[in-house]
Amino acid sequence: MTEQEHDESKLERVIRKIKRCLALSKSSNENEAATAMRQAQALMREYRLTELDVRLSDVSEVESEKARANRRPTWDRHLSGIVAQVFGVRPLSYQHWCKSSGRRVDRALFVGVSPAPQIAIYAYEALLVKLTLARREYVALVRSGKRHSSYSPETAGDHFALAWVSAVHGKIHELLPRGEEDPGLTHHSDGRDLVAIETQDKALIDQYLAGQEIGKARKAPKVELDLDAQIAGLLAGQRVELNPGMAHSGQAQAQIASGQ
């Protein structure tokens, strides 16, 4: 372990201890709460950390293992966009030189407050596999003449995929368990707590990305879509069943089963 890695590891341990102290500072026991807050403040002073530094440590970025040699197609970027919207993370395209393949690649990347990026990447990759297969099958049908299109098979497949994503967008919220009431709780949230958390997370993500160079997204040109491909894509997307599951660790694992 290098000196820098040792320092980073030590800082991570300190931040975890500060977080525990801050959590204890909300205790109903006034003495315990006051002691925990003093310890948290002392550690922050010693290591010259602010509360924002501590909160920013929860923000992480996760990149997809799936990469493309060229720029990700519009339907791929739309898929990562709707997944990001559901899980409250920021979707980005990460272009870099891949040593293993010896070429420049483009892959999806999510930035957010943990564990949201990890859950989002799981859902995105699982859906991407299904979408890629469904698009490939539709392209083959157009190429064989079993499906009519005034566009090339690949273009018709792109139109199919965009409609597929639109159909799944209406169902993907099922991946995120929301609004389930705990019968043991006497206080019921009216939704304002959730909005406050989402707003706070968005502010943290903005702060995290503030010092990084991020290219502006290209504006997609307006095109007339193949109606037959759209209908086929919508129907295929509607047949995808989304069943959320919760792992014992408390992190959601999306169990996505196709209804085709």
Q: What is the mean pLDDT of the chain?
A: 80
pLDDT of residue 193: 61
pLDDT digit string, tens, across residues 191-202: 566 566 677 888
Mean pLDDT of the 156-165 span = 96
pLDDT of residue 101: 77
Summarised one tens digit per residue, pLDDT across range 172-217 is: 776 555 544 443 433 444 556 656 667 788 888 888 888 776 766 6
pTM: 0.74
CA distances from 187 to 24, 178, 193 (A): 21, 16, 12
- Condensed to tens digits (0 to 9), the pLDDT of residues 82-120 reads 999 988 999 999 888 888 878 889 999 999 998 899 989
* C-alpha to C-alpha distance for 181 and 187, rounded to whole angstroms: 10
Percentage above 90 pLDDT, the chain: 35
Domain ranges of the chain: 3-56, 69-89+112-178+215-258
- Cα Rg of the chain (Å, integer): 23
More confident residue, 116 or 260: 116
189 or 243, greater pLDDT = 243
DSSP state for residue 182 in the 8-state scheme: P
- How far, in whole angstroms, is CA 205 from its chain's centroid? 12
Q: Which residue has the higher pLDDT, 129 or 260?
A: 129
Closest CA to 217 of 77, 116, 30: 77
Bridge partners, residue 106, by sequence: 68, 95
Least confident of 36-45, 49-58, 159-168: 49-58
> Which ranges of the chain does DSSP label H, i.e. alpha helix?
3-24, 30-46, 51-56, 74-87, 116-144, 153-169, 192-209, 227-238
pLDDT of residue 256: 46
Dig out the tokens for 164 from the structure. Answer: 């597929």
